[in-house]
């Protein structure tokens, strides 16, 4: 077929695709364009010229290993829904436009990760695109009858490359938002997928059933060929290990190749499409592979040995004079090339513009407020990148096309792309993975892959120096690039994959564990790892999700604003929004309002934090705070500030946490006090009630017993009323509402009054109470209150001194401007660990395992309040060991 | 004659309960705290224990825990009688294996009915 | 998608890793053919085919 005719066919075919794309774009919501089949078929962009031509080449020369490229995805597809659903969800929420974008998002919107991933992708994919051009060029020359051209401007491949670039530029850059779906483009990819499959099946059937008499016929004829066994079995255990790693390699590729990420994530229009794809796509791959071996064997049987086995698919019909069938094969191959090149360059151009050019330098140029011009500029950047990429690939092809097969370039691309796998996959499920670790892993892995795979290749091609490969650099055996550390039984690709992954994964894990990422990074990680729970968050118009108890929020506000202000503010709020104040659930408006209210007191970030702690019970989650800060971020400059703030925030969080703990402790104490009071009140009440019930129900009760029960009731009632009085007293004293009725009194007189009050009891117990007053002094005090203190001290002593020879001594002396009173007894004394606490209300000794109030627990607390109201102090003399000695110091004047 | 053990450190309450249950025809034992209670349970193997929670030395929770550990005491019914009236206390009491939980102040009549019921089954 | 269905799919993937790799594939490493398709290929295609069927069933059931 003459050159110009063939070029005309190509142009015609491209035009047809273009028209189809335009049509689909217009009908993007129609059933024909927006459906799961289109999505599933578009995934088949995976099958490039490598599949279409390369598989046959491998099947004819190396045997079964071509299948690994497809078995990886087969293993991956059941996991597809689980992994991709998460990725798709996050990508849609954050307008992710490429895998570089996604990974930089996961590691805290880390710019350098985005750039690094972009770099890795370009290095991997550019040769891969070159390989597609090589396939087009070679099939073109097989099919055409024209002269092989040596000059650039007459080389048809160059024009095909330019045509493809125009095609991508037209379709890929229609909108600025690269995360938007391009339904037209996806539709053409799906159509091409269908075309290449159908055409490949046609040639498969033609070969198997027209050229031969079915599969058994081919097999029987092949059995006579030397080395056939090598093609259908594994020869040794090494090749099975190789098999295993190759499957792992393609497993990663199906997720990570930029073009796969583009079609499966970015162009995904509905998460439900994933379901159909997860069985349609492996079926597609299966159909594609069924005839590969028969075409390969037919080629071996029928074609001359010096023809390139990669193109048996094309040679077979041509050698049998089937020109039309040959053209069909060519178009099928062209389809696989076009879709691969188009999607890859599109994905790469987006990455390069969004993750390299824009953030590193070009962002400033976009700062003026002219959205239209900015959009045009971004589009132009992308278009230039697209052309640069395709022309770059073309030159790569020109320089490297010598000996590499389709298969090996493809595999090198896979190994390089696989360097993203640890940071991508582990990062999806492990929130500890950090940006630093990701970078270290990727770079070290890439370095190893470069050294063990690319460097020897460059050395061979450019330096024509095979010493480097066969003897190692400087003759060091251990560093031989294909046999690192003497690992000598793996083929180069597997070997490189193995070592690079070992270093990549280990560095990633170790660095992640060694050094925590900053808070911002951790929060993004949290967001990705727990994508499911954050999904709902975004669907709310508010940056807040979950349920908040109104009373909880109120508590927080009260802590910082006080009760009065809180109540007033909430009243206004409820009236303003016409909300029923009795409603228990707070909504987003209340949360926002409370935050604003608090902001004045503790700053925006911590306000968010405090409210967040009651809303979600997870005070550390700062994603919301972060989002708000993020939205305000205008330039990269803000990043530095953000880091400072993150430090401040941490400190603040700690302070708040401490304050919070203290409050909780106080609350607990308050609760304990109330518990004790309740218990103290309930016990005598229960006793009274029980006794009364018993008396009421027993008419036949003996009179003495009845008397006893009645006495008990009286005692319990007394106990109750004393307790109530004490509690009221304490409440009055501690709130400062009780005013001391101070008059001038004789201290000696008051002490004697106190002694008289307990005299009867002391006499009964046989206790001697002695008063030693050196000199009398008149003081200003509330006599009733002071008397209450003295009586309390005396009756406590009475309780603890031994019967018969108990002794209580009251001493008084003047020490400078103080009167010092001491009340000492020869009782059992106060345990040293209790001394600090006996003045606390209802304090009960710790060495009693059980908290059981004795009813007097409140007396010392009251005494302390009274003495303090007189500007005095009361304490226990720790030196005194023969009993207890209480000291009261009152100021003279 | 069914045996009943009342464990409480409030003598007045104990007195009322002792009188009321004796009148119902029970053989009544008294303990003032958990350690005493365990001794009596071991010696007398009562059919039912009325147990306070806040007591000196060994409290009611500990007592019932010890009690439930020993399979010998499997059939002994336990009724808590406590001033602790928070849901969490009640839940704890029942979780530890008590059959009923009465809060103080309580009705002697209702307690008697409950005891009779428990011992009938 | 429910957790249980996800678990089924994960188990399927694990099963595929086991079935498609050493040592199990070595069992089929014999230079014979079934209907002109070598045993090793036949085995791989059958596993492949069944994985599609099982995925299809799990997903259909969920829907």
Q: Is there contact between B and C if contact means ≥3 C-beta pairs under 8 Å?
A: no
Reduced to 3 states (helix: H, G, I; strand: E, B; else coil), residue B98 is coil
Q: What is the CATH number of domain B3-116?
A: 3.40.50.2300
Of A734, A760, A775, at which residue does a domain stop? A734
The C-alpha of C6 sits at a distance from chain A's nearest C-alpha, in angstroms, of 7
Number of domains chain A contains: 4
Could you list the beta-strand ranges (E) of A618-719: none
Tell me which chain B residue has its CA closest to the CA of residue A672.
Answer: B84
Q: What is the average pLDDT across B32-41?
A: 90
pLDDT digits (tens, 9 = 90+) for A90-107: 887 777 788 988 898 888
Q: Tell me, what CATH number does A709's domain have?
A: 1.10.287.130
Tokens of A358: 């824009």
Confirm or reject contact between B70 and chain A (CB < 8 A): no
The C-alpha of B73 sits at a distance from chain A's nearest C-alpha, in angstroms, of 24
Q: With beta carbons under 8 A apart, name residues in chain C contacting A237.
A: 22
Same-domain pairing of A615 and A637: no
pLDDT digits (tens, 9 = 90+) for A267-307: 888 878 888 898 999 999 999 999 999 999 999 899 888 88
Same-domain pairing of A676 and A613: no
Per the listing, tokens 């007894």 go with: A825
Helices (H), A562-636: 563-577, 588-602, 604-616, 623-632
Q: Tell me, what CATH number does A77's domain have?
A: 1.20.1730.10
- Residue A868 pLDDT greater than 70, yes or no: yes
Q: What is the pLDDT of residue C50?
A: 94
The C-alpha of A672 sits at a distance from chain B's nearest C-alpha, in angstroms, of 12
Tokens of A836: 């600090």
Q: Which residues contact A589 (CB under 8 A, 6 or more apart)?
A: A577
- The residue among B120 and A70 whose pLDDT is bigger is A70
Q: Taking CB atoms and an 8 Å limit, are A74 and C9 in contact across chains?
A: no
**Domain with A658 in it:** 625-734
Of A683, A700, A734, at which residue does a domain stop? A734
The C-alpha of A464 sits at a distance from chain C's nearest C-alpha, in angstroms, of 38
Residue A407 lies in a domain: no
Rounded distance, CA B19 to CA A475, Å? Answer: 105
Same-domain pairing of A54 and A192: yes
* Total-model pTM: 0.58
Rounded distance, CA A105 to CA A101, Å? Answer: 6
Residue A430 lies in a domain: no
Q: Taking CB atoms and an 8 Å limit, are A74 and C48 in contact across chains?
A: yes
Same-domain pairing of A385 and A272: yes
Residue A171 lies in a domain: yes
The C-alpha of A586 sits at a distance from chain B's nearest C-alpha, in angstroms, of 26
Q: With beta carbons under 8 A apart, name residues in chain C contacting A221.
A: none
Q: What is the pLDDT of residue A293?
A: 92
Residue A838 lies in a domain: yes
Same-domain pairing of A293 and A383: yes
Rounded distance, CA A286 to CA A291, Å? Answer: 10
Same-domain pairing of A701 and A822: no
- Identify the DSSP state of C20: T
Q: Average the pLDDT over each of A234-248, A371-385, A461-475 and give the range with the smallest value.
A: A461-475
What's chain B's Rg over C-alpha atoms?
13
Q: What is the average pLDDT across A356-368?
A: 63
- Of the spans A379-388, A486-495, A530-539, which averages the highest pLDDT? A379-388
Same-domain pairing of A381 and A322: yes
Q: Taking CB atoms and an 8 Å limit, are A686 and B84 in contact across chains?
A: no
Residue A130 near residue A158 (C-beta atoms within 8 A) = no
Q: Average the pLDDT over each of A192-201, A577-586, A599-608 and give the range with the smallest value.
A: A599-608
Residue A538 lies in a domain: no
Q: Taking CB atoms and an 8 Å limit, are A848 and B9 in contact across chains?
A: no
Reported ipTM: 0.95
Of A620, A642, A670, at which residue does a domain stop? A620
Q: With beta carbons under 8 A apart, name residues in chain A contacting B103.
A: 682
Same-domain pairing of A555 and A684: no
Same-domain pairing of A598 and A679: no
A411 alpha-carbon distance from chain centroid: 32
Confidence band, pLDDT 50/70/90 cuts, at residue A666: low
pLDDT digits (tens, 9 = 90+) for C31-56: 888 888 899 999 999 999 999 999 99
Q: Is the dihedral of CA A395, A401, A405, A408 positive or negative?
A: negative
Same-domain pairing of A12 and A140: yes
Same-domain pairing of A195 and A157: yes
Same-domain pairing of A63 and A197: yes
Q: With beta carbons under 8 A apart, name residues in chain A contacting C17.
A: 75
- Residue A766 pLDDT greater than 80, yes or no: yes
Confidence band, pLDDT 50/70/90 cuts, at residue A634: very low
Q: With beta carbons under 8 A apart, name residues in chain B contacting A685.
A: 104-105
Neighbours of A657 (CB within 10 A): 14
Q: Taking CB atoms and an 8 Å limit, are A683 and B10 in contact across chains?
A: yes
Q: Taking CB atoms and an 8 Å limit, are A278 and C20 in contact across chains?
A: no
Residue A401 near residue A134 (C-beta atoms within 8 A) = yes
Tokens of A701: 């009760």
Residue A515 lies in a domain: no
Tell me which chain B residue has its CA closest to the CA of residue A717.
Answer: B12
Q: Taking CB atoms and an 8 Å limit, are A215 and C35 in contact across chains?
A: yes
Tell me which chain A residue has its CA closest to the CA of residue B19.
Answer: A694
Tell me which chain C residue has its CA closest to the CA of residue A78.
Answer: C9
Residue A131 near residue A408 (C-beta atoms within 8 A) = no
Tokens of A356: 């390299």
């Amino acid at each position: 077929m003459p050159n110009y005719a063939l070029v005309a066919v190509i142009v015609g075919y491209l035009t047809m695709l273009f028209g189809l794309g335009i049509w689909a774009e217009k009908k993007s919501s129609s059933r024909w364009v927006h459906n799961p089949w289109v999505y599933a078929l578009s995934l088949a962009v995976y099958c490039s010229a490598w599949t279409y031509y390369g598989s046959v080449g491998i099947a004819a020369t190396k045997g079964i290993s071509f299948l690994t490229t497809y078995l990886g995805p087969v293993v991956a597809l059941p996991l597809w829904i689980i992994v991709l659903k998460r990725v798709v969800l996050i990508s849609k929420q954050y307008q992710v436009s490429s895998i570089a974008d996604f990974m930089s998002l996961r590691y805290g919107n880390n710019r350098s990760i985005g750039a690094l991933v972009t770099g890795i992708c370009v290095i991997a994919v550019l040769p891969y695109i070159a390989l597609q051009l090589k396939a087009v060029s070679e099939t073109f020359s097989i099919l055409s009858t024209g002269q092989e051209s040596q000059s650039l401007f007459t080389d048809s491949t160059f024009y095909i490359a330019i045509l493809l670039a125009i095609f991508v530029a037209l379709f890929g850059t229609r909108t600025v938002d690269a995360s938007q779906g391009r339904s037209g483009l996806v539709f053409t990819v799906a159509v091409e997928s269908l075309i290449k499959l159908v055409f490949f099946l046609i040639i498969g059937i033609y070969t198997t059933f027209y050229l031969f008499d079915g599969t058994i016929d081919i097999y029987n004829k092949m059995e006579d060929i030397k080395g056939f066994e090598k093609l259908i079995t594994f020869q040794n255990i090494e090749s099975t290990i190789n098999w295993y790693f190759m499957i792992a390699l393609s497993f990663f590729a199906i997720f990570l190749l930029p073009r796969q990420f583009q079609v499966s994530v970015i162009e995904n229009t509905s998460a439900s499409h994933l379901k159909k794809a997860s069985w349609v796509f492996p079926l597609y791959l299966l159909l594609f592979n069924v005839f590969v071996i028969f075409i390969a064997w037919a080629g071996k049987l029928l074609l001359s040995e010096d023809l390139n086995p990669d193109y048996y698919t094309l040679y077979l019909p041509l050698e049998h004079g089937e020109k039309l069938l040959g053209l069909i094969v060519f178009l099928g191959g062209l389809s696989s090339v076009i879709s691969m090149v188009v999607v890859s360059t599109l994905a790469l151009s987006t990455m390069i513009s969004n993750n390299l050019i824009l953030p590193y330098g070009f962002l400033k140029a976009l700062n003026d407020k002219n959205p239209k011009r900015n959009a045009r500029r971004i589009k132009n950047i992308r278009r230039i990148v697209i052309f640069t990429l395709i022309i770059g690939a073309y030159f790569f092809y020109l320089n490297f096309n010598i000996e590499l097969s389709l298969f090996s370039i493809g595999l090198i691309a896979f190994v390089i792309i696989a360097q993203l796998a640890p940071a991508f996959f582990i990062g999806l499920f492990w929130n500890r993975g950090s940006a630093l670790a990701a970078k270290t892993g990727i770079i070290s892995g890439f370095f190893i892959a470069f050294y063990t795979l690319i460097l020897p290749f460059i050395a061979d091609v450019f330096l024509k120096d095979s010493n480097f490969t066969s003897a190692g650099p400087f003759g060091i055996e251990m560093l031989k690039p294909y046999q690192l550390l003497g690992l000598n039984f793996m083929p180069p690709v597997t070997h490189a994959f193995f070592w690079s992954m070992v270093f990549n994964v280990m560095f990633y894990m170790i660095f992640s564990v060694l050094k925590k990422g900053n808070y911002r990074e951790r929060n993004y990680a949290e967001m990705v790892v727990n994508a499911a729970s954050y999904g709902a968050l975004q669907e709310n118009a508010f940056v807040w999700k979950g349920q908040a108890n109104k009373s909880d929020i109120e508590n927080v506000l009260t802590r910082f604003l006080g009760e009065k202000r809180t109540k007033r503010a909430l009243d206004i709020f409820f009236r303003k929004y016409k909300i029923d104040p009795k409603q228990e659930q707070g909504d987003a408006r209340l949360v926002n309002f409370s935050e604003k209210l608090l902001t004045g007191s503790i700053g925006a970030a911590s306000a968010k934090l405090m409210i967040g702690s009651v809303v979600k019970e997870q005070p550390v989650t700062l994603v919301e705070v972060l989002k708000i800060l993020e939205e305000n971020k205008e330039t990269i400059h803000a990043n530095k500030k953000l880091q400072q703030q993150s430090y401040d925030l941490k400190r603040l969080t700690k302070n708040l946490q401490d304050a919070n703990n203290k409050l909780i402790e106080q609350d607990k104490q308050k609760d304990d006090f109330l518990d004790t009071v309740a218990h103290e009140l309930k016990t005598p009440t229960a006793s009274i009630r029980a006794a009364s019930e018993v008396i009421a129900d027993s008419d036949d009760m003996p009179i003495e017993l009845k008397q006893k029960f009645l006495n008990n009731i009286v005692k319990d009632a007394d106990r109750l009323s004393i307790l109530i009085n004490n509690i009221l007293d304490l409440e009055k004293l501690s709130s400062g509402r009780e005013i001391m009725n101070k008059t001038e009194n004789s201290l000696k007189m008051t002490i004697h009054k106190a002694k008289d009050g307990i005299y009867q009891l002391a006499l009964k117990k046989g206790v001697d109470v002695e008063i030693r007053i050196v000199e009398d002094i008149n003081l200003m005090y509330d006599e009733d209150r002071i008397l209450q203190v003295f009586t309390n001290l005396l009756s406590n002593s009475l309780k603890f001194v031994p019967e018969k020879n108990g002794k209580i001594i009251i001493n008084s002396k003047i020490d400078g401007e103080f009167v010092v009173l001491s009340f000492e007894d020869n009782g059992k004394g106060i345990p040293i660990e209790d001394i600090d606490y006996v003045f606390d209300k209802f304090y009960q000794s710790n060495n009693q395992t059980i908290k059981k109030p004795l009813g007097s627990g409140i007396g010392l607390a009251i005494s302390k309040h009274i003495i303090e109201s007189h500007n005095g102090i009361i304490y226990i003399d720790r030196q005194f060991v023969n009993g207890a000695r209480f000291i009261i110091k009152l100021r003279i004047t | 004659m069914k045996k009943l053990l009342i464990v409480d450190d409030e003598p007045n309450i104990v007195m009322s309960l002792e009188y009321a249950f004796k009148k119902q025809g029970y053989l009544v034992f008294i303990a003032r705290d958990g350690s005493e209670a365990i001794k009596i349970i071991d010696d007398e193997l009562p059919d039912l224990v009325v147990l306070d929670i806040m007591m000196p030395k060994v409290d009611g929770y500990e007592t019932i825990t010890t009690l439930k550990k020993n399979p010998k005491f499997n059939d002994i019914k336990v009724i808590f009688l406590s001033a602790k009236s928070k849901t969490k206390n009640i839940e704890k009491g029942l979780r530890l294996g008590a059959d009923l939980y009465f809060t103080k102040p309580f009705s002697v009549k209702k307690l008697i009915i409950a005891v009779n019921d428990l011992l009938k089954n | 998608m429910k957790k249980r269905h996800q678990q089924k799919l994960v188990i399927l993937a694990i099963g595929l890793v086991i079935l498609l790799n050493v040592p199990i594939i070595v069992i089929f490493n014999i230079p014979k053919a079934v209907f002109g398709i070598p045993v090793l290929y036949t085995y791989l295609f059958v596993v492949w085919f069944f994985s599609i069927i099982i995925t299809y069933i799990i997903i259909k059931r969920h829907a």
